[in-house]
Structure 1
Amino acid sequence: MVQAYNFLGSWQLFPEKGNYEWGTRPKSGIYQIEAIDNRKAIRIHQSWVTLENESFVSDYLVEADGEIHPSENVELAHEVQVHFIDTVNMELHFYKNSQTFLHITHEILPNGFLKITQQGTHSNGEGYTNTEVFHKQMSVLPYGASAAGAIVKATEEGVIRHKALTAMEEQTHMQLEQIRKQIELLAQPAQEIHQRKELSKLIYSAKLSFKPEIGQVYYLYEKNDNTHTLSLISPTEWGAGMPYKKFVAAVQLLADHTWKERPL
């Protein structure tokens, strides 16, 4: 089961990234793949909520040795086959009367997402393809969900658990979003303080022929020898006769003795 390692765990659906030729787009879902101890088998738990707030769950066990095996649920399929192509590609085949009627591919994308493509056939022989994208959850939940499930069965227990899961996801997402915004708000003044610090170090290493006053605006220049000097004269007052190599910035001394750049 080494090849199954990357697939194991709980995956949360990106509803907006899916493409559905059959069925309706779900608004949330979890897809969980679990290895069965001491067996070459995997259990796939699924549940999802439709846009109409209908909840569905399913659970099935499949042998994962690449061979065709009888299905646990003959109403779903007569036989099932799981094949790991490599560590990032897995295929499920569902057979009826020795014919594949449902083919599900699992692909771990370079960004770590799980892409599930479901190719099936309606009773009238018309084919369809549904594609879904999931991201891996940090914690493993006691059950999973997806709209790509082969077995579809609504249960009261599944509805209750999925509603609780959805509420938990919404609350934690809101809390994390609040923290992210707080970090962004803190990052801006921190960047401004860092800029003032670097500017202040440059000014205090410059030549000062007078004592700067708090609140006063001064003008920082770079001299021909690449050193710096502070002046009361703005670059517009020098005209064409500016004696320095270049003008750097207009600066103001603050009460905490740091310097802030000001508009010229």
Structure 2
Amino acid sequence: MRVLVLTKPFGVLPPEELAAQLAEAGADGADLLVRDGQTVTPSTSWRIAETARALRGNGLETGLVSTDLTSADSEAERVIGHCAEAGVPLMRVGFYRYDAGLDYAAGLDRARRDLASLAELAARHGVRLVLALHHGTLHPSAAHASRLLDGRDDVLVHPDPGNQAKEGSEHWRLALDVLGGLDRVGCVGVKNAVWEPGEARGSWNCRWQPLADGGVVPWPTILPGLTELGYTGPFSLHVHYPADDPLTAVRRDLGYLRGFRSEPRIAPPAR
């Protein structure tokens, strides 16, 4: 199990300090978020290479860089070029948002064109793109992502059952079958959430919570199932819930996640 940690909760830590904390937490590497307020921002994408060196110095990999890029422009050229220079194999694209006030077909067509331009740019640099299944987008499920990716085999998919819990759920095995199997999966996002009664009568809210505390996503079933299918790609652990001490939160969730590797698989009862 190769576990990357999304660097979002660590904010603006310098590369060396970020790498040291990820190593102390027990990660195998980083899912490096390039965003304002982070170690690397879109305007300082040259720091991707600096951060990758710091990670290597701590025995860690830069397995994935996550961005908000959705089309090929000068910023995308710069960020993807720096990913290539740093030897980053995968880059997560941004989110193609769903707008209920706009025509779905037109929005999907525009997203396809933008993604195609971004994929072609990445291919020229030797970087593979991944598309996350994410709530509030045109690609919240495997079926919707498949519509967006129709005819494209140069973009991998980033399943994320935690994200999907925001809009409902999708059976993890069905999602893989719809996508075309494990060969189409670049990374698997890991987090959990809970649904709680809202203030308005009959309303419910979904909020993130520590992976180690459980939640609506059945990770005790999903993780062994992926192992049995032969998944060998990376997992990306996301700590999206409030945490005063990100290092402690990440270390706790990582310990819980790695526990699935050592637990014996319980055989189903004989019929």
Using structure 1 for the length normalisation, give the TM-score. 0.26
Using structure 2 for the length normalisation, give the TM-score. 0.25
Bigger Rg, structure 1 or 2: 1
- Structure with bigger helix share is 2
